[in-house]
Amino acid sequence: MTIETHQKDGMMVAEFTADETIIRTTDDALELLGNHYYKGYDAMILYQNQIIPGFFDLRTGLAGEILQKFAQYQMRLVIIGAFHTVESESLRQFIEESNKGSHVHFTDSLPEALKKLEIQ
């Protein structure tokens, strides 16, 4: 796993590049979040394939648990993936509602993720 740092106007964003799953549990997310929060990052960019598929099944509760940790640390998060192909109505609604806010976003590209975070 490598981390690319994007910066603008004093804001630091960590983009994680890895082909493997890096978040399997809430504890994995909390460790990743805590480590980068204390390094001064304001936001994180993760890719869909880096998060266990159960996260995207809202019945597991994993998304809620993980996103609550990001809210507690006030760390913004953008997840990049193929969300336009989502078949689950509940997940599609969850994504739409998240994208209306300013804390968690789901998008399909890095340029769009950086735009959401106002890093361009």
Q: Is 33 in contact with 25 (CB distance < 8 Å)?
A: no
The enclosing domain of 6 has a CATH number of: 3.30.750
Pairing mode, if any, of strands 2-8 and 76-80? unpaired
Backbone angles phi, psi at 116, to 5 degrees: -60, -35
Q: How many domains does the chain have?
A: 1
Give, for all 120 residues of the chain, the pLDDT tens digit: 899 999 988 899 999 999 999 999 999 999 999 999 999 999 999 999 999 999 999 999 999 999 999 999 999 999 999 998 888 999 999 999 999 988 999 999 999 999 999 875
Which domain, by its residues, includes 47?
2-116
**Best CA proximity match to 108, nearest among 91, 94, 95, 90:** 95
